[in-house]
Amino acid sequence: MSAGGSRAPLWPEESDGLDPDGLDPVAVTVDVGGVPMSALVAAVAAPRAVIVALHGGAVTSSYYDSRTLPGLSLLRTGAALGFTVIALDRPGYGASARYGRGLGGADRGGQIDRMATVAERVDLGYAAIDALLAGRERGAGVFLMAHSMGCVLAIQLAADPRGAGLLGLEIAGIGLRPHSVARTFMASLTAGPAASGDGTAPSGVDRGNLHEILWTPPHLYPDGAEAALALSASPRYEGSDVRGLADAFPGLAARVRIPVRYSLGDHEQVWSNGPAALASIAALFTGSPRVVTAEPAQAGHNLSLGRSALAYHLSVLSFADECALGREFSRTANLAQLPKLANSASSDGD
């Protein structure tokens, strides 16, 4: 993997602080047609590529910047290895939270819902990425990664015609068949509202069971990881995203035209995991030129917060680098063909 930008120790034991060498992510908010879109950005001057990371439900972009063990942070690891990393607050989260409260029209505060439809959210996503990268180098291009409910938007972005310009896609912590221990929990989500709108678990969900599903087994996570995670109310549209996932996923996956990597931790307890489950999802990406699967070891649902997060992030960055190489080789091959095409045209003219 190519390196660039500043180098810094990846483990906190090697440093006296969270920002040993100028890699502390910066909070940035951009205006997208009157909607503020926020992100955490760790930028390097000449990036190998840009990683745009989309968090899951009921959390924020801080999911990708571990505050208990900074060495587990995707933002810091990516920047240390020469990637610009943008952890984007998805529509309805962070600075745009007040714009995603209703299902259309105005909410009680008179605020118009600007993200009620999939098309609106996809447009917001692409516009936010462009605004955050304005004036910045992109290297080989933009690679998209997502976790849990963030994968819905990621696949929607990749399935859009604009998605063909992305380098590749990593989706993790998502599936179509619930794990055996999560069937009751998932049934309550797919049958009714996915969130109460106040940042708590949906009505009818056993909070103790939810905690166990997301944070079990506990030895996989550093002490304090759960307490340090910033929680957020979920936008109302996520209810329909959850309930419509099984129907929408296959069609969206079939429209993706870029390399795809699909990951589920070996201790995942929300979605059914193992080789067969991984293969069943990978098979849906029929239009992708390359689909690979991964089962990170010693990893639960929250892949970017566990003790194995560094290993997971390195594997994603390695795949992104492979996608960058593929883009570069494709460009080189196309350029090499130009003289041949020109000579052929000249011969035809003769």
Tell me the per-residue pLDDT of 145-159, one tens digit each, with 9 for 90 and over.
Answer: 999 999 999 999 999
49 in a structural domain? yes
The upper half-sphere exposure of residue 152, i.e. CA atoms within 13 Å in the direction of its Cβ, equals 23
Task: Give residue 246's domain range.
Answer: 12-349
Once rounded to an integer, what is the mean pLDDT over residues 190-201?
Answer: 46
4 in a structural domain? no
Once rounded to an integer, what is the mean pLDDT over residues 258-262?
Answer: 98
Listed range (64-73, 132-141, 189-198, 218-227) with the worst mean pLDDT: 189-198
6 in a structural domain? no
Once rounded to an integer, what is the mean pLDDT over residues 237-249?
Answer: 92
pLDDT score for 47: 97
H helices of the chain, in order, are: 74-80, 118-132, 150-159, 183-191, 207-215, 225-228, 237-254, 275-282, 309-349
The answer to whether residue 19 scores a pLDDT higher than 60 is no
Nearest 10 degrees: Cα torsion 159, 245, 128, 293: -60
- Cβ contacts of 312 within 8 Å, gap of 6 or more: 172, 263, 296, 299, 303, 304, 306
343 in a structural domain? yes
Listed range (37-51, 179-193, 283-297, 323-337) with the worst mean pLDDT: 179-193
pLDDT score for 339: 60
- What would the two tokens of residue 207 be? 């909070």
| Continuous segment of H or E residues that includes residue 142 | strand 142-147
Q: 111 near 101, Cβ under 8 Å?
A: yes
CATH number at residue 321: 3.40.50.1820
pLDDT score for 210: 78
The answer to whether residue 260 scores a pLDDT higher than 80 is yes
1 in a structural domain? no
Find the distance separating the first CA and the last CA of the chain, reported in whole Å.
Answer: 48
Separation between Cα atoms, residue 133 and residue 142, nearest integer Å: 10
> Helix (H, G, I), strand (E, B), or coil: what is residue 176?
coil
H helices of 206-308, in order, are: 207-215, 225-228, 237-254, 275-282
Domain tally, the chain = 1
Where residue 99 falls among pLDDT bands split at 50, 70, 90?
confident
Q: Quick one: what percent of the chain has pLDDT higher than 90? A: 69
327 in a structural domain? yes
7 in a structural domain? no
Separation between Cα atoms, residue 18 and residue 12, nearest integer Å: 7
User: Cis (ω within 30 of 0) for the bond into 70?
Assistant: no
3 in a structural domain? no
The answer to whether residue 9 scores a pLDDT higher than 60 is no
